[in-house]
Structure 1
């Protein structure tokens, strides 16, 4: 894809479930389901969705929508989000009961926006699903009650590729979506997972949280900080500023961040998001940091022409020179970590080499002014 091409938007699992619920309700109450179904969005507006499946099974109607995440990387893209709808016996008040079935996770830990024991359907999509069903009931002239059970094909398998197991959500994925729309590279679902992971860690009484950019750095973080429980570890991906601010907002006493050299350079630049598409490496600044680390002038200038940050680090004339550069970069990165986290928490930055070796452990104690700043390695 060319970078100047507009990126295609998609829709959330909550919107898909709303479409399936409305189509199934229409089928149950009128005997037919439309080829496309129009649903309300939590953030306002509406969206028309193609109905992939609709059939009757005795007193139950079943429908499904294929989740389309647009150009956003999303493990649920292409998944069949379904809903089983049936009449609530004895209800005559237009009530709608929303629950989760196969492939939808159940909450087992506190701290999430959904209570322990309930299906992992967040408040906004739960209300969206209920509103879509209510629309179908009005169209059909039905004033009884409806039960809507959301399902996800292979939801349990998909959940293993998400943070749900870490959050204590078992048996499937979560039904998410604050706006109902997936905007490419906004990564709303990932940011929600970070926030919810922090809520769980806080609810479990953890005072320290550990961030990493992915599975490999998380494994190294776990080995370097073995006292941290799994529920205190979370993959923040490229959301550098967001994760720090969210952790500080919940008053954690200590924040640990694990990074490789390439991400360290982005952190030293102070980029809020360290993804490759969000900001290029500033090799001119990197050359200046090489000089500050004591590299020979000519070699420091060569770093400005490096292909990647990793390439620049591998240009170090000795292990000591690499260690010195990492220390300079870590000092810059810690300054930005403090800027994003504020004065409250103690900060620890672990920097790993590309072969997994620990290049340095750097820290800052809480401070309220620049004169209080303490960096140790």
Structure 2
């Protein structure tokens, strides 16, 4: 991939100042491969590098890693995905497009090749049975097919089969199996550009998880900060897999999306330290972006009956979990107080949406150290 984005947005300009290198989405890679393959199918040379136009006008160029032509029948081109400096599971994956002619009037038909998943559950932006090639990459590929057809005298009626080498294995590290996308990866991207550490893919997966749960008729979902809290939520409530949201550090993403797309009940489950951040009003729970506020914990301890000596010890504790242990030894239910404060903060973010919220705080071993029972929506 030889060329950097040509038109930088404010966000991309800020990224440039950080020194982090952007990359390309699987959708951009699939579009580049499709453009090269269809060009060759119509009798021209494989363009290498192949240049495409992204939704915001950038014109990156992609080197071809592989190409194959069976004249008149099919052409295949492949590019290596470069995710830049983002820790993307698909970085380095080989994205292939095989293009075959179809009868006039067929349009562009998409197929899932090896390593690309198929949608098996409702709630996603694609019908059940469709290859997991999202709407924006489809639109981008259709536009480039039309452009190549106009340039080289084709009809634009083609089958486009997208595949990703080792995609089925890579997909096990994504949300796809839980979302009902089976057999491989999704072909994603709205701008074509991967912004390092933007976390946009994770947040989009949270939203898709809510959509799938709602489509399955789930009325109770759990936003969990990790696998241990997820196991606790399942043990306590017996929730099915499609009701579990891998919230990670993005409490705000869960709450803001449920505000617009509510379910009857949300359980928030996570480690005590992370949920103490939510209790203090933080919606991003990552350690680099928010810290445990021991002064706030000391104030909660006072509200729970702690004397000044205990409150001072809480404020000076080394870790969040130590504050729980100090209070438990003196009969002050700090875990429950944090859970209740986190619940109330969540209800404030929901802004009266019809979602009841309860909270479970755990320690590293998965033991419940605090709990707040469900409370209905806050009005006003």
| TM surpasses 0.5 | yes
8 Å contact 2:226–2:270 — kept in the other structure?
Answer: no
- For residue 357 of structure 1, report the CA deviation from its aligned partner: 0.7
Report what 2:91 is aligned to: 77
Report what 1:15 is aligned to: 28
Unaligned runs of 5+ in 1: 371-377
8 Å contact 1:294–1:321 — kept in the other structure?
Answer: no
Cα distance 1:367–1:195, how it changes in 2: closer, same or farther (>3 A)? closer
Q: For residues 323-362 of structure 1, what are the structure 2 equivalents within 5 Å?
A: 324-343=333-352, 344-362=354-372
- Report the TM-score, using the length of structure 1 for normalisation: 0.88
Cα distance 1:5–1:291, how it changes in 2: closer, same or farther (>3 A)? farther
**2:139 is matched with which residue: 100, 110, 127?**
127
- For residue 306 of structure 1, report the CA deviation from its aligned partner: 4.8
SS state at 2:46 partner = coil
**1:150 is matched with which residue: 135, 154, 162?**
162
Q: Distance in 1 between matches of 2:292 and 2:378?
A: 30
- For residue 109 of structure 1, report the CA deviation from its aligned partner: 0.9
Greater Cα offset, 273-282 or 213-222: 273-282
Report what 2:11 is aligned to: none
SS state at 1:354 partner = coil
8 Å contact 1:94–1:134 — kept in the other structure?
Answer: no
Q: Distance in 2 between matches of 1:323 and 1:75?
A: 44
Cα distance 1:305–1:70, how it changes in 2: closer, same or farther (>3 A)? farther
**2:253 is matched with which residue: 242, 257, 276?**
242
Q: Distance in 2 between matches of 1:150 and 1:306?
A: 54
- For residue 152 of structure 1, report the CA deviation from its aligned partner: 0.8
**2:278 is matched with which residue: 260, 267, 270?**
267
SS state at 1:317 partner = helix
**2:118 is matched with which residue: 79, 88, 106?**
106
8 Å contact 2:268–2:359 — kept in the other structure?
Answer: yes
Q: Distance in 2 between matches of 1:327 and 1:27?
A: 65
Deviations 1:326-368 (A, max 9, x none): 1222222112100122222111101111111111321242144
Q: Distance in 2 between matches of 1:321 and 1:49?
A: 64
- For residue 151 of structure 1, report the CA deviation from its aligned partner: 0.5
Q: Distance in 2 between matches of 1:87 and 1:307?
A: 66
SS state at 2:42 partner = helix
Unaligned runs of 5+ in 2: 1-16
Q: Distance in 1 between matches of 2:107 and 2:119?
A: 24
Cα distance 1:369–1:114, how it changes in 2: closer, same or farther (>3 A)? closer
Q: Distance in 1 between matches of 2:290 and 2:92?
A: 30
Cα distance 1:79–1:218, how it changes in 2: closer, same or farther (>3 A)? same
Report what 1:224 is aligned to: 236
SS state at 2:136 partner = helix
Deviations 1:15-53 (A, max 9, x none): 111111112122222442233222222344332223222
Report what 1:95 is aligned to: 107
8 Å contact 1:12–1:180 — kept in the other structure?
Answer: yes
Q: Distance in 1 between matches of 2:19 and 2:283?
A: 23
Deviations 1:50-85 (A, max 9, x none): 322222246321111212222323211211111111
Cα distance 1:83–1:321, how it changes in 2: closer, same or farther (>3 A)? farther
8 Å contact 2:37–2:76 — kept in the other structure?
Answer: yes
Q: Distance in 2 between matches of 1:52 and 1:287?
A: 59
Q: For residues 267-306 of structure 1, what are the structure 2 equivalents within 5 Å?
A: 267-295=278-306, 297-298=308-309, 300-306=311-317
**1:42 is matched with which residue: 55, 68, 72?**
55
8 Å contact 1:289–1:329 — kept in the other structure?
Answer: yes
